[in-house]
Structure 1
Amino acid sequence: MQLTKGVEQAICIIVLLSTQDNHNPLASDTISEHLQVSPSYLKKIMRKLVVQNIIRSVPGNNGGFSLAKSPEQITLLEVVESMEGEISIYPDTGLINKVFRDGVHTSKGEAVLHDVFNGANSLLRDYLAKQTAADLLKRTMEQSEIPVLNWNITNPSNQNKKE
């Protein structure tokens, strides 16, 4: 199973918004510029994050987007499922019916496969549910606190201090 690039882009949006002062929303054009993705495609991703109450849209001239909750409350499971829907790694096309055409083994085969893959789904969901945006950012930046950056400036790679 491979997740779509929308998951990676959603994670990057959350990184930007997690490090941005929540009182200073980021415009979708600014986010699009930083991620170098099409503004129209980015808006589709952001809409999914808004619907799942991960980010919020702030109206007005100085509006944009900000987090709807703290990075400590945002899990990778929420992000993945906001982009991909509920995790299900087994496609279940019914092909097992063609292998066991006698009915008895077909039902048992389907039940066994569902049981195994439902277990795998649960393990993956549980693992992703324990990974928060805050934990990942702190590990990445090797800091105990998430720094506050200003992504509205031209060259964010020069930022290395807390504002």
Structure 2
Amino acid sequence: MKLNKSFEQATYVLTMLALQEGHTPVKSQVLSSVLDVSDSYLKKILMKLSKAGLVASSASKTGGYQLAKSVEDISLKDVFFALELHADVVEFKHMAHQIYDDAAHVALVEQRVRETLEGGLNDFYARLDTLKISDLLRDDVYEEGVIDWNARAEADV
């Protein structure tokens, strides 16, 4: 399975915000600088995370992005759905009609494929829901945050 880069970026943005010292806001430029990714692309990801209620943003001189939920309450499924990577409907072009003359058989074939794909997706989403962002962090580092990403980004310049 190949996931697009936004899933990885979103996951690590959330971990960075969890690790931010004092959980103070972090600007997108700082996040993109530390992750070495495009700031404009990261802003699109942050907008989706914000729309999903995973991060909050404040536009001010000292503003930026912060977690809107506890890392114990954010799963990889939440990230996946926030980025709109999920597929809720299995659609067919009904190509089976090109192979089979029997409409009843075509319906059965499509039903079997649909049930299998939907079952697999449900299993996948359930598995994603078992891993929380907190599971990616050491227990002793995210209660108050331990890294000042702003200072780190300035040091890297």
Letter of the structure 2 residue corresponding to residue 129 of structure 1: D
Q: Give me the identity figure in percent.
A: 30
Contact 2:56 2:67 in 1 (8 A): yes
Which residue identity lines up with residue 50 of structure 1 in the other structure?
Answer: S
What is the TM-score when the length of structure 2 is the normalising length? 0.86
Question: Following TM superposition, by how much is the alpha carbon of 1:130 offset from its aligned partner in structure 2, in angstroms?
Answer: 1.1
Q: How does 1:11-160 map to 2 (within 5 A)?
A: 11-21=11-21, 23-87=23-87, 92-138=92-138, 144-147=139-142, 148=145, 149-154=147-152
Q: TM-score with structure 1 length normalisation?
A: 0.83
The residue type paired with residue 151 of structure 1 is W
State the one-letter code of the partner of 1:84. E
One-letter amino acid matched to 1:52: A
Deviation of the 1:116 alpha carbon: 0.7
How many angstroms does 1:69 deviate by? 0.5
Contact 1:87 1:125 in 2 (8 A): no
Instruction: In structure 2, give the amino acid aligned to 1:66.
Output: Q
Deviation string, structure 1 residues 63-117 (Cα, Å, up to 9, x no partner) = 0000000100000001012113324596644333333242111100010001111
C-alpha spacing 1:152/1:116, structure 2 compared with 1 (3 Å): same
Letter in 2 for 1:154: R
Q: Which has the higher contact order (CA 8 A, sep 6+)?
A: 2
Q: Which residues of structure 1 form unaligned runs of 5+? A: 139-143, 157-163
1:37 CA drift (Å) = 1.2
Q: Look up the match of 1:141.
A: none
Alpha-carbon RMSD = 2.3
Q: For 2:2, give the aligned amino acid.
A: Q
Equivalent residue number for residue 160 of structure 1: none
> What secondary structure sits across from 1:85 in the alignment?
coil
2:119 partner amino acid? G
Task: Please list the CA deviations of residues 10-40 of structure 1 after superposition, one character each: whole Å capped at 9, or x if unmatched.
Answer: 1111111111135410001101101111111
